[in-house]
A and B are shown apart, each in its own frame.
Chain A
C-alpha cells in the first residue's frame, strides 16, 4: 500500500499542476460528503495522504515563490476528508499566513481564518485553534471583538495557558464588549489564590470599570451636543438618561473635562486595557489575498 502511495504521489501531483492553472481557485471547497464517500471508509487514510502531500509541499522552499498558493486547497481537502484532524487546523493557522519579502504583503490570511473558523465549527479540541483564530482576526483584520471572543473560547479548552484570559479580556475591552471582559476578570479573581495576581486582576477590573464610566460620560456629552447644549462642566451631565450622579474614578481620582475637545479623560487613562494600535486598524496591514 505504501509503495502504491509512493508510486501514485508524483503522478497525482503532476495532475494537480496541470489542473490548477492560475485562473483556477485551488482553495474552492469540495463537498466533504462526496470526498468521504469516494474513499469507502478510508477517509482518514486519504486525509493522511493529503496531509503528507501538504507537508512536503510546504517543506519545498521553491514554493515560496508562488506564495504557497496551493497550500490552502491542500489543507481544505485534508480537513474535508477528516473534519476532526485538529492539528491540520492548527498548522493552517500557523503556516498559511505568509509574508512575502518581495512585495511586503501577507498572503493566505483569509484562507487561514476560514480554516480556523472551520476548525472551531468542527469542535476541534486544541486551544491553539481559537487562539490562532483570535490572533489572525486581530492581526490581519483588526476585528478585536471577534478576536476577543475567539480567545475567550480558547480559555475554555483543556491545557489552555492562563495568560489567554488576560489577553481575551484586553481584546474584548478594546472591541467594546466590557460586560464580558468584566465577567471574565471577576471569574479570574474568584479563581486565583495568589495575592500578587489578585492585586493585578483587581487593578484590571478597576481599569474596565474606568473605561465603562468614561464611555458613559462621553455618551452623555454626545447627547448634550445633539440637543444643541454646550457642556461647561461635568456637573452639566448629571440628570441625563442613566446618569443620576457623577461616577467616581475607580482609582480614586477625579475625571478631567476638556471643554475645547468636549471630551472627558482620567489621570489613570494609561491603566486602560488596550492593544497599542489605533482603533479599527489592524496591527499588520492585510493584503488582498
Chain B
C-alpha cells in the first residue's frame, strides 16, 4: 500500500500540483499589503478569511479533481491491470491511491496555511492557533470529499465522479437547510427525501470553523476531536463502500 501511495504522490507531483501551492503562498503574501489599503482595521479578519477561503477552495477542488482521476485514470489507461496482476488486492490498490491523495491534500493545506500565517506575521498579527485549527478541519473536509470522489471514480467515469464530488461538496454545506425544508414539507415523500438527504450527506458545516478563526477564537480540543472523528468515520464508510463497489467491477 505504501508503494502505491508513494507512486500516487509522485504522479500528482508530476501534475504540477505544487506549482499551484507556490503561487498561492506568493499571492497570499502579496495580498496582505493591498488589503491594508482597502479596509479600516480588521486586517486579521480579512487575511484569515481570504487565506482560509482560498485554502478551502484549493484543497477541496484539488481533492475532488484529483480524487476523481486517481483510480479511474488507471482504469482508462489500463495501467491498473499490471498492478492488479501483482499480489495486490483491489482494496489495497484503492486504499494506497487514497493514502497518496491524502498526503498531497495535507501538504497542500499545510503550505497554504503557512502562506496565510506568513501574511499574518507581516501584518504583525500573532493569533495563529485559530488559523491552524480551522485549516486542520479544512483538510478533514477536503479529505472527506476526495474520498467521495475516489469512491465514485471506482464505479463511474472521472467526469461523473468529479461532478458528483462537487455537487456533494456544495450540498454538504446545506444539510441544516435541507433538514429545515424537510420539516416544513407538506408531502410525506418530500419530507423523507429531504430528511434523508440532510442525514445522509456529509455535514460539511460541522467542519467549517472559519467564522471562529476570523474572531481569533480557540476551540476546545474536545470540540475539534468530535469534528475530526466525524470526518474520519464518514471518510472510512464512504471509502469502504467505494472499495466494495470496486471489488465487483469488471475491469476487462
Contact = CB atoms under 8 A, between A and B. Distances in A.
B57 A84 contact: no
B85 interface: no
A190 interface: no
Contact of A44 (B39, B173, B211): B211
Interface stretch (B40-48, B154-162, B188-196): B40-48
A192 to B, nearest CB: 32
Best-buried of B38, B54, B57 by chain A (most CB within 10 Å):
B38
Interface stretch (B69-77, B102-110, B202-210, B219-227): B202-210
Given A41-B205, A45-B49, A48-B50, A2 B31 contact: yes
Interface stretch (A12-20, A51-59, A157-165, A200-208): A51-59
A34 to B, nearest CB: 9
Contact of B42 (A1, A2, A37, A87): A87
Nearest to B40: A55
Contact of A41 (B38, B40, B56, B215): B56
Nearest to B46: A48
Interface string A8-52: 000000000000000000000000010001001111110010011
B208 A41 contact: yes
A41 B173 contact: yes
B50 A37 contact: no
A87 B50 CA distance: 17
A80 interface: no
Nearest to B141: A41
| Dominant secondary structure of chain B at its interface with chain A | helix
A153 B158 CA distance: 57
A168 B40 CA distance: 29
Nearest to B212: A84
A45 B39 CA distance: 14
A91 interface: yes
Contacts of A51: 39, 42
B38 A44 contact: no
Nearest to B170: A40
A1 B55 CA distance: 11
B177 A45 contact: no
Given A41-B56, A41-B205, A44-B211, A52 B38 contact: yes
A1 B54 contact: yes
Contacts of A86: 215
A129 to B, nearest CB: 14
Contacts, number: 55
A55 B208 contact: no
Q: Which of the four size classes fits the interface of chain B?
A: 20 to 34
A48 B173 contact: no
A82 interface: yes
Contact of B27 (A2, A40, A52, A87): A2
Interface string B46-86: 10011001101100000000000000000000000000000
A52 B41 CA distance: 11
B214 interface: yes
B174 interface: yes
B27 A41 contact: no
A1 B57 CA distance: 10
A44 B40 contact: no
A138 B215 CA distance: 30
A40 B38 contact: no
Contacts of B45: 48, 85, 87
Nearest to A91: B40
B211 to A, nearest CB: 6
Given A45-B50, A48-B50, A52-B38, A37 B211 contact: no
Contacts of A87: 41-42, 45
A38 to B, nearest CB: 10
Contact of B39 (A37, A42, A55): A55
Given A2-B50, A40-B174, A44-B53, A82 B211 contact: yes
B177 A37 contact: yes
A43 B211 CA distance: 9
25 contacts: A1-B54, A33-B177, A37-B177, A40-B173, A41-B173, A41-B205, A41-B210, A42-B57, A44-B49, A44-B214, A45-B49, A45-B50, A48-B45, A48-B46, A48-B49, A48-B50, A51-B42, A52-B38, A55-B39, A82-B211, A82-B214, A86-B215, A87-B41, A87-B45, A91-B40
Would you list the 3 A-B pairs with minimal beta carbon distance, nearest first? A45-B53, A41-B173, A40-B173
Given A1-B50, A44-B211, 20 more contacts: A1-B57, A37-B173, A40-B170, A40-B174, A41-B56, A42-B53, A43-B211, A44-B49, A44-B53, A45-B50, A45-B53, A48-B45, A51-B39, A52-B46, A84-B211, A84-B215, A85-B45, A86-B215, A87-B41, A87-B42
